[in-house]
Structure 1
Amino acid sequence: MMAPAAEALGVRLKVLAESPDVCATQVIPQAQVGDYRDLATLREFAAGVDVVTFDHEHVPTEHLQALEADGVVVHPGPRALVHAQDKIVMRTAVDRLGLPNPRWAPVGSEAELAEFGDEIGWPVIVKTPRGGYDGKGVRVVHSAAEAADWLESAAGSPLLAEAFVPFNRELAAMVARSPMGQAAAWPVVATKQVDGVCREAIAPAPNLPDELAARISGAALKLAGDLDVTGVMAMEVFEVADENGKASFVINELAMRPHNTGHWTQDGSVTSQFEQHLRAVLDLPLGETAARADYSVMVNVLGGEYPDLYHPYLHVMAHDPGIKVHMYGKEVKPGRKVGHVTATGTNLDDLLERARHAADYFTGTITE
């Protein structure tokens, strides 16, 4: 999805793909197939580009440090990216900056997890510090024994234990920052998660107090600045009620790349997150982040029982010419994110109904 923005800017992209048929190779002619976990492969790839950036956080930190030592420009750099790669590192940074964290602790044994749970109360959220996404690597446990298998397989490396947060809804703040220090923020969005996967995003988050929206955006900008982030960063948060019953928030996770919660910007913002990420990593002036409409709605298309995603275009586009369809060229698998649809306008209920109808038709949940 970064390819159209790159084309408009006259920027050539080159992709390191794990296989020759992944979605990026369908739109980026310069595609090298290789393993991002292999340093020699990364060095060969990096020799042919001006800037290295990412569409996921799984490239080993030590490999990125080696590329920087070679003189390669890496954005975001490994010192920033590790905060999106390792949730314990992230929690430590959030505490250091005085931003709102849930209660948390690294735990390396059943005894340590039991002590944490008994102190703050059960249930407890247990996470693998690295590698988890879309609900993977996250478990709700009611006793230490329920995480015994994870603790054993961690082989002495700590897991992350967090307090279970009773939240009102989930929100996300997208920001961007360039090497020159310029930063920009999009409106805070409300998100809906189903089985750990983002299903919907609404921009701006409806009924979010201006003061709270400013605090959330300010926290995201503070993190991006302190961590020296270059590129787009997503900060996912829980909206909660504080001890006085006033709306507040706690930080859930970070992502340092274009993110699902920012897909609405393709059609709903003056500058999309994909163009903004390119501007940032190339140290170009950042674009305007204002919304183009009162509301923008994004609904993910999740893989269902029907592998054909092309013929549904006939219904979706004829039924609602105002819907924008974005498909990824991925093989359809049940529950897999294979695309998304967006709608923009003034009537939020109408936008949600239209976008959900389109997404459900692609999935096969509805047939008319």
Structure 2
Amino acid sequence: MTFPVVGMVGGGQLARMTHEAGIPLGIKFKLLSDTPQDSAAQVVSEVVIGDYRDLDTLRDFARGCDVITFDHEHVPAEHLAALEADGVVIRPGRAALAHAQDKGVMRAKLDELGAPSPRHRIVADPADAAAFAAEVGGFPIILKTVRGGYDGKGVWFVRTPEDAREAFLAGVQVLAEEKVDFVRELAANIVRSPHGQAVAYPVVESRQVDGVCDTVIAPAPGLDEELAGQAQELALRIAKELDVVGHLAVELFQTTDGRILVNELAMRPHNSGHWTQDGAITSQFANHVRAVLDLPLGDPRPRARWTVMCNVLGGDYPDMYSAYLHCMARDPQLKIHMYGKDVKPGRKVGHVNTYGDDLDDVLERARHAAGYLRGTIVE
């Protein structure tokens, strides 16, 4: 019996953890990575070093793969179209990925579906951004490049027309959105297979620091069951209407007046789902592998009442390994996941998961471990 080969484009930590989830299933992985030092390239046995922006490289890589999936959404759409014309199986497909690659395309489609979103439109220049601000009740507003932004990059909090100038310097189309008066950020994570089976994970609370995810709490504390159900149903409907195959993260705002609004879409395993590695019966990574291979999906239910994920960011303390002794001795239930990256200030280099029945305790354990590994906590 020949086990299938999953081709993963992109060598980051998401590819590393997806590969890990496929190992128990005997799934073979082939990786297209920028450098041999990339996170996944350190652990996958078959690695092709090349540029995902080069069509010939992609075509050569696709040979011998049963399915292609992605660590990121940056492969040019015209290359994806060429691969599909060649008969390469891509999951999620080009048509679905367009909504994660271009925020303008995403907003237009969500409007068509009637999905709740912040007020928005494409703006041409700082004067047009000021006109949009007047339309939505005044500054501040949010400006985003429609392509290429992540972890706070390509996003501007704009208080005046002068503040808007920077957003237009890159020559990329700019999307303006109203600043939402929200209580907190949520995420609804679902996985969908080619034949339409889908599973939904509990809706989580995602806490950001400087535009970067810091802490995820599963499930979101105090979230009304009806609103949580609405969020899951919305994510499942978006996945179906966009024909998403694999993992879909729908990032949401919970507003002060009790609504949910769609903020972003990601069609790959997502930071808001890292808690599932230790806190769910089947992780987002394992279910993504199952979905792209059209295998039956696994149970998404949580293993514990509460699970907390904290990102470990690089600081001025590069020797994280020496901190393991303290962290593991202090909390034998702690789960540490490191990405094999060089430590640089502010860079995501790993995450920790904790779980249990007492939310305050679970939160404190995760925050202490992440802080100790970073060097901001010394006791």
Flag whether TM exceeds 0.5 (same fold): yes
CA contact (8 A) 2:143 2:167 kept: no
Q: Deviations over 1:106-143 (max 9, x none)?
A: 01123321211111121110000000000000001122
Q: Match of 2:148, as an amino acid?
A: G
Task: Give CA-to-partner distance per residue, 1:309-354, whole Å, 9 cap, x none.
Answer: 2111111111110100000001111111100000111000000001
The answer to whether the 8 A contact 2:250-2:262 is kept is: yes
- 1:285 maps to 296
Separation (CA, whole Å) in 2 of partners of 1:4 and 1:109: 45
2:24 — aligned with what?
A: 8
Please show how residues 1-368 of structure 1 align to structure 2 within 5 Å: 1-120=17-136, 121-154=138-171, 158-242=173-257, 247-368=258-379
Query: Deviations along 1:5-53, whole A, 9 cap, x unmatched?
Result: 1111110001100001111011101011000111110111011211000
* Partner Cα separation in structure 2 for residue 236 and residue 281 of structure 1: 22
Could you tell me how far apart the structure 1 residues matched to 2:301 and 2:169 are?
48
- SS of the equivalent of 2:260 reads strand
Deviation at 1:152, TM superposition (A): 4.3
Amino acid at match of 2:190: V
SS in 2 for 1:100: coil
On the 8 A contact 1:117/1:143 being kept in 2, the answer is no
Q: Deviations over 1:48-75 (max 9, x none)?
A: 2110000111111111111001100000
Separation in 2, partners of 1:148, 1:138: 12
Provide the rounded CA distance (Å) in 1 between the counterparts of 2:212 and 2:165.
25
- The offset of 1:153, in angstroms, is 3.3
* Secondary structure, aligned partner of 1:72: coil
Structure 2 residues not aligned, in runs of 5+:
1-16
- Alignment RMSD: 0.9
State whether residues 175 and 186 of structure 1, in contact with CA within 8 Å, keep that contact through their aligned partners in structure 2: yes
1-side partners of 2:373 and 2:306: how far apart? Answer: 23
Q: What is the CA–CA distance in structure 1 between the aligned matches of 2:283 and 2:198, rounded to whole Å?
A: 15
Matched residues in 2 for 1:113 and 1:320: separation? 50
193-202 vs 138-147, which moves further:
138-147
Q: CA deviation at 1:146?
A: 1.9
Aligned 8 A contact 1:340 1:359 in 2 = yes
Instruction: Give, in angstroms, the shift of residue 93 of structure 1.
Output: 1.1
Give the superposition deviation at 1:219. 0.6
Distance 1:31 1:128 in 2: 32
**Distance in 1 separating the partners of 2:366 and 2:170:** 42
Whether contact under 8 Å (1:108, 1:158) holds in the other structure is yes
Moved more, 185-194 or 57-66: 57-66
1:307 to partner: Cα distance: 1.2
The TM-score normalised by the length of structure 1 is 0.97
C-alpha displacement at 1:99, in angstroms?
1.0
Deviation track 1:160-183 (CA, whole Å, cap 9, x = no partner) reads 000001110010010000100111
Distance in 1, matches of 2:196 and 2:170, equals 41
Q: Percent identity?
A: 58
What 5-or-longer segments of structure 1 have no aligned partner? none
TM superposition shift of 1:158? 2.9
